[in-house]
Amino acid sequence: MIGLVAIMVGLNIGGSLFLLTAVAAGLTGSSLIVAQLISATPILLSVPAYAALSSALPVTCANYQYAKLFSRPLAVAGWMVLFIAIPLGMLPLFAIATAKLLAVLVPGLPITLSAIGVMTLLFVVNLAGVRLVTQAQFVGVAVLLAALLTFIVGGIPAIHVEYLSIGFSGGLVGLVGASALLYTLLAGGLFGIEMGDEIRDARSVIPRALVVSISIVLVLYLLIELVAVGSVGWEEFSAGTLGDVAATFLSGGWLALFVVGGGVMASMTTINLALTAAGRYALAFSLDGYLPKAFSRVNERFGTPHYGLTLIFVMTAVTLAFNPPLMTMGAVLNFGLLFIVSLVLCGAIRLVRRLPATYLRGTVKVSPRLLVGCSMVAVAINLVYMLVLAIALKWTFLIFVGAGCVGLGLFYTRRRGL
């Protein structure tokens, strides 16, 4: 239970916290906390479906498997978006963020080589099995939480009440845009269910870990944003980062703990579990016949998909070597998360209606009416977020569409035996 909570917390609190909150403040002003609550709404509405599914059918690569309950071709399309976005955008982005923070401690450190070194370290950890992954995650999350609490406790006395007066500087469009941008900050925890076959007492542990981790992270986000806006005002915050805010009330070792300990661990804990999940995505795709059979093999000693993990590691390392504009590919991840979560929610609705006996096997009893109602509202909100992001990020949306079309092409090509 504790290990899985650490996994989900680490997936949620990533480098995006340090990068996106200031951008969101620039879009909506002092109503940043309102935007955070709105962005959390579809995640909270998704919890009943995710809890029920993971309780009834705990499986490896769960989001992909649950999406197939609704539509196999769309599930493959969603998988392809994530398969491209994780090793070609998300992992390199956070690896470089980690390397740049390490360069603060060691001036002159080569960024690209350091980023590849970070990926290599976490790749070896993942090869050694889920137990070591969980242990490393627990240590990393402990340091991360200590850093975030340092920011919160140190910043509360510096809050100016007048800065917290709710104002919507960007109007309704800015509020919705900020909410859509902040979606990934809380959505990552939903992907902590990916190792269902490797969790002891999964039927009861996974649903409880979901609720606990999402609650912890949401409270931390609200407190951090309260301090950030309240201590310097939204205008100054939007022009800098959380590190700049921390420098106004922290100094010396405490500031170093937050900037380096918080930033480095936020990125590394996310890399650790994103690599874990992506390796298992390769495994599931191989089992379904979309990748060579070698990627479906599981190491007998460590119980991990070594070939799948190696594929993701190599793709990430090559991306780092070419050093492309990673923010664009990282943004594709946003579309991929919204899309695959929506498919999972539709899969939960279909399971309730078509396979009620399987649904009732779960140890978590969620009213079918509650599950269907919450899931439908969450899907509707997700679609609005995708529309907002598509308008704001035109080229990124085209990459998302292109990756999805490749996935559909794979599905129908295999189906026809071509």
Angle at 212 between CA 178 and CA 124, to 5 degrees: 85
pLDDT score for 366: 82
Neighbours of 367 (CB within 10 A): 12
Helix (H) or strand (E) run with residue 39 in it: helix 32-56
Do 219 and 37 contact (CB within 8 A), yes or no? no
Looking at residue 327, what is its pLDDT? Answer: 62
pLDDT at 12: 80
- Give yes or no for a contact between 196 and 54, defined as CB atoms under 8 angstroms apart: yes
Q: Which CATH superfamily groups domain 2-415?
A: Amino acid/polyamine transporter I (1.20.1740.10)
Residue 17: predicted pLDDT: 81
Q: Provide the pLDDT for residue 215.
A: 92
**The predicted structure's pLDDT at residue 244:** 83
Whole-structure pTM value: 0.84
- Secondary structure letter of residue 249 according to DSSP: T
pLDDT at residue 196, rounded to an integer: 67
Q: Are 415 and 386 in contact (CB under 8 A)?
A: no
pLDDT attached to residue 141: 84
Structure tokens at 120: 């290599």
Predicted pLDDT of residue 21? 87
The region that residue 252 occupies, defined by phi over 0 for left and psi between -120 and 50 for alpha, beta otherwise, is: left
Which residues have C-beta within 8 Å of that of residue 389, sequence separation ≥ 6? Answer: 180, 181, 331, 334, 335, 338, 396, 397
- DSSP class per residue in 389-418: HHHH-HHHHHHHHHHHHHHHHHHHHHHTT-
List the one residue out of 364, 404, 376, 367 whose CA is nearest residue 53: 364
Whole-number pLDDT of residue 330: 66
Indicate the residue type of 205: V
Nearest one of 377, 395, 277 to 331, comparing CA atoms: 395
- The domain ranges of the chain are 2-415
Residues of the chain with pLDDT under 50: 418
Look up residue 70 and give its two tokens.
């609704």
Distance of CA 38 to the CA centre of its chain: 17
Query: Which pLDDT does position 117 carry in this prediction?
Result: 92
d(Cα 177, Cα 169) in Å, to the nearest integer?
A: 12
CA separation for the pair 78, 186 (Å, rounded): 19
* CA quadruple 393, 396, 402, 405: dihedral, nearest 10: -60
